[in-house]
Amino acid sequence: GDSVTQMEGPVTLSEEAFLTINCTYTATGYPSLFWYVQYPGEGLQLLLKATKADDKGSNKGFEATYRKETTSFHLEKGSVQVSDSAVYFCARYNFNKFYFGSGTKLNVKP
């Protein structure tokens, strides 16, 4: 069935390190793809999105490119900060539902 798979965490990085969180999807048709971020004790906030193949979403230094050929939407950031510590969720939307990956916890150490 349709699903979203993202790398397991936690991911621990030092400040200013490069970040990649992998996300792949299986879906019927061409879903819209999203990355959401959840800070402790809060709801999910949209980080970025892409609605069609080869689209690149970007926000706050984070980027992800919709790759139809590899069915992937990997999240990257060139230089992480302590304030980026959170749980990151990859998601897809089609057929009236948002499907979420299992979440990847990121810890950034000073």
Q: How far is Cα 30 from Cα 13, in angstroms, rounded to an integer?
A: 33
Amino acid at 11: V
Whether the Cβ atoms of residue 64 and residue 48 lie closer than 8 Å to each other = yes
Determine, following the binding rule CB under 8 A, whether residue 45 of this chain makes contact with other proteins: yes
Q: How far is Cα 33 from Cα 19, in angstroms, rounded to an integer?
A: 19
Determine, following the binding rule CB under 8 A, whether residue 62 of this chain makes contact with other proteins: no
Give the range of 14-22, 61-69, 76-84, 91-99 binding other proteins by CB under 8 A: 91-99
Residue 79 Cβ vs other proteins, minimum distance, rounded to whole Å? 25
Determine, following the binding rule CB under 8 A, whether residue 67 of this chain makes contact with other proteins: no
In this structure, how many other beta carbons lie within 10 angstroms of the beta carbon of residue 63?
A: 17
Helix (DSSP H) and strand (DSSP E) numbers for the chain: 0, 12
Residue 6 Cβ vs other proteins, minimum distance, rounded to whole Å? 11
Residue 28 Cβ vs other proteins, minimum distance, rounded to whole Å? 13
**Binding test (CB under 8 A) with other proteins, winner from 38, 58, 71, 85:** 38
- Site size with other proteins, rule: CB under 8 A: 24
Determine, following the binding rule CB under 8 A, whether residue 53 of this chain makes contact with other proteins: no
User: Residue 83 has what DSSP assignment?
Assistant: G
